[in-house]
Amino acid sequence: MFRSINVTSRIFERQIRTPAPGTSVHCARRFYENIVPSFTVYDIECPDHSFRKFTDDGQYLISFSRNHQDLIVYRPMWLSFSCKEEDCCRHDLPPKAKRFESFFTQLYSVTLASCNELICKDFFLSMEGNQFGLFATSTAQIHDAPTTGRAIQGVPFIEKITFHLLRLEDGVVLDEKVFHNDFINLAHNMGVFLYDDLLAIVSLRYQTIHILQVRDLGNLVDVRTIGSFCREDDELFLISNSQSLATSERSRLNPFPGNQVGNGHNQVNQDDSFLSGIKQRLLSFIFQGMWNEETDQAMRVQSLKKKFFFHFQDYVDLIIWKVQFLDRHHLLIKFGSVDGGVSRNVDHHPAFFAVYNMETTEVVAFYQNSAEELYFLFEKFCDHFHATSRNSLHMNFISSHSNNVYALEQLRSIKNKGGSFSQFVKKMMASLPFGCQSQSPSPYFDQSLFRYDEKKFYHVHIMLLQLISATDRHRQSTDHPIKFISRRPPYTLKFKIKPGPEAGTIDGRTKRISSFLFHPFLPLALSIQQTLFLQPSVVNIHFRR
């Protein structure tokens, strides 16, 4: 079947031929091969804001003021002008094309952060259906925090974190959720996951997962809290049996044999006699798994001693790092040691994954990050790890190695590159649990349409991070443009995106960071290059002329 790449003949084809079942979106997307953002306006004059993201429905561009206190929302538009002369195509664009305002209209500016708070400019989640946006403001981070109650040591401390739920249409703040004396990893949406209308917020300091629901009218409602207690009535049960608590405390402090591999610091919860609810579920799952492996009683005890009790303290000291939804009832929780929790470099710390059912409060699966079984599930069903809500249509078409042959080839080539398989597995598992809304739905990232160098797109809200380790986030930008090459014959270069000023920069030594914002469906992209010295950033607009 020879498919023409000429846009006119494609349009005629579209009139007479219906696409194969289930491929209507893919067929429509092929037009993006013809309509590309090939024209660049360099160093456009624009307000000095930090541009964050286009919302996934393409209606809004979210940006924050430089002082991190205001939110400014723009509506992307298309440049329009008229030309009376003949041969208009040859003319240069009018001067108004070089203005930011021709492409974006400001809708409103809202002050979210009060005097001592700052907006976390790396945090933004949008709810497509009702056009809500979730933002976060926080006070400064304090590193040597006093430990109180159930707070764990080693985790920094923020006096006040506020989540603001905003209606994007007009900027009205609908609801707020405040966390006091807590720590939630806000950078790149790491500590928060949004699935449909459910929000999971991980409090690293108190080791709790807060599940909230965003109602249609814009209220944030607490659904459940997982951590110390798993079921809603656990706490009630324990309080009403407070007498049995006192006696069981004595029996619990009996140390287990062979338990020398502690982390150095004692159990922080000196006054609590029970392990937290989620920890108990986890330990019993591990125990049961090992118990059932052997049929002989003596072998069982041997195996338990070696594999379970020997590492008991390690298991007890695990903390929740990150969480994502797998569906409405299941969470994928990443556990690790305290040291690895707040650092970005995850390579040297062992990590574990657990699948937890919130309704039955059972742990369904538990794997170490080097587990091949988990990797095989990841390889085959990657799309199911990206829990996309059912309401969102285009988020289901983002290329991954489970739905795209070229992405799979790339994955295989990394696998076969050499080095040990378990290192490769750990590297792949480092991307789990996936960050929420970290991928752009733009068709220019569709691997079946274009081939491009992903490593150049470091910034989280652009594309697949599997190829880039977490430490590469602040990659130095090069002056070389990023090329998008067609996947179909004749494999030509379709367009290129060059960050930075037109002439290139003379000073090769200053570190520059590039970030790219692609509109979800228009052939429009922004590339922003920042130096680290708070100089105003260079913004280029790439669009189809």
Site string for other proteins, 343-362 (x = CB under 8 A): ------------x-x-x---
Q: What angle do CA 188, 191, 193 make, to 5 degrees?
A: 90
Candidates 145-153, 254-262, 321-329, 465-473: pick the segment binding other proteins (CB under 8 A). 321-329
User: Binding to other proteins (CB under 8 A): which residues in 362-391?
Assistant: 364-365, 373, 377, 381, 384-385
Task: Specify the long-range contacts of residues 462-465, CB closer than 8 Å, at least 24 apart.
Answer: 462/515, 462/516, 462/518, 463/439, 464/399, 464/400, 464/407, 464/439, 465/431, 465/435, 465/438
| Amino acid (1-letter code) at residue 233 | D
In angstroms, what is the minimal distance from the CB of 327 to other proteins?
A: 6
In angstroms, what is the minimal distance from the CB of 223 to other proteins?
A: 16
Q: What angle do CA 485, 491, 497 make, to 5 degrees?
A: 15
Kindly determine how many residues on this chain lie close enough to bind other proteins according to the rule CB under 8 A.
Answer: 20
Q: Which is nearer to other proteins, 385 or 406 (CB)?
A: 385
Our finding on whether 308 is near other proteins (CB under 8 A) is no
Q: Which is nearer to other proteins, 59 or 213 (CB)?
A: 213
Strands (E), 103-236: 104-111, 118-119, 125-127, 132-138, 141-142, 157-167, 172-182, 192-195, 198-203, 208-214, 220-226
Largest CA distance in the chain: 94
In angstroms, what is the minimal distance from the CB of 45 to other proteins?
A: 48
| Amino acid (1-letter code) at residue 279 | K
Binding-site member from 288, 391, 471, 476 for other proteins (CB under 8 A): 288
Q: Which is nearer to other proteins, 67 or 295 (CB)?
A: 295
Q: Which helix (H) or strand (E) holds 492?
A: none
Q: What angle do CA 457, 461, 464 make, to 5 degrees?
A: 60
User: Binding to other proteins (CB under 8 A): which residues in 115-174?
Assistant: none
Q: What is the DSSP string of 331-381?
A: EEEEEE-HHHHS-S--TTS-EEEEEEETTTTEEEEEEETT-HHHHHHHHH-
Which of 123, 130, 124 has the alpha carbon at shortest distance from 197? 130
Q: Which is nearer to other proteins, 379 or 479 (CB)?
A: 379
Query: 137: which DSSP letter?
Result: E
- C-alpha span between 258 and 58 (Å, rounded): 58
In angstroms, what is the minimal distance from the CB of 234 to other proteins?
A: 21
In angstroms, what is the minimal distance from the CB of 377 to other proteins?
A: 6
Q: Which is nearer to other proteins, 373 or 409 (CB)?
A: 373
**Cβ contact 497:487 at 8 Å:** no
Query: 99: which DSSP letter?
Result: B
In angstroms, what is the minimal distance from the CB of 432 to other proteins?
A: 12
Q: Which is nearer to other proteins, 237 or 381 (CB)?
A: 381
User: Binding to other proteins (CB under 8 A): which residues in 194-223?
Assistant: none
Candidates 102-110, 219-227, 246-254, 285-293: pick the segment binding other proteins (CB under 8 A). 285-293
Candidates 54-62, 65-73, 142-150, 324-332: pick the segment binding other proteins (CB under 8 A). 324-332
Name the site residues for other proteins (rule: CB under 8 A).
Answer: 288-289, 292-295, 326-327, 329-330, 355, 357, 359, 364-365, 373, 377, 381, 384-385
